[in-house]
Amino acid sequence: MVGLPWQSVAAFIPITTNPRIPGQRFTLEEVVQVVDQWMEQPKLRLLAPEDQHWLLVRRLLIEGQAWGPLASEAQLAALTIENGGVLQTTDRDFARFSELRWTNPIEAGTERV
């Protein structure tokens, strides 16, 4: 099973269609097709905040000293924890969240599961 946060889907659209970002951009139609293909995957689970999400995010923000750009990491960590998942990331900043199970899919030895 692969969990995909809604905010990641939402962020994918403006990033991949923004003409000011270098590189080839997708058309809106192409991006919609990509997201449609994701949604059709039988092993995909869309992750949304649960009722106590804010309490967990707040705790992670404070305990992990996740302010500024790191605040969004606290939210992704909370979604992963709420859903009993293991976050796949190359971003070592997630190590600040002691409750989070995570692994770096590229580097061996950088995991806490």
pLDDT in tens, the chain (113 residues): 899 998 899 999 999 999 998 988 999 999 999 999 999 999 999 999 999 999 999 999 999 999 998 999 999 999 999 999 999 999 999 999 999 999 999 986 666 66
Buried b (16+ CB within 10 A) or exposed e, 42-80: eeeeebebeeeeeebbeebbeebebeeebeebbbbbbbb
Strands (E), 19-98: 44-47, 87-88
C-alpha to C-alpha distances, 23 to 10, 19, 28, 79, 107, nearest whole angstrom: 20, 9, 16, 31, 27
Q: What does each C-alpha distance from 55 to 41, 61, 95, 107 come to in angstroms?
A: 31, 10, 20, 32
Q: List the chain domain ranges.
A: 2-47, 53-112
CA–CA dist 77, 31 (Å, integer): 26
Q: What is the pTM of this model?
A: 0.80
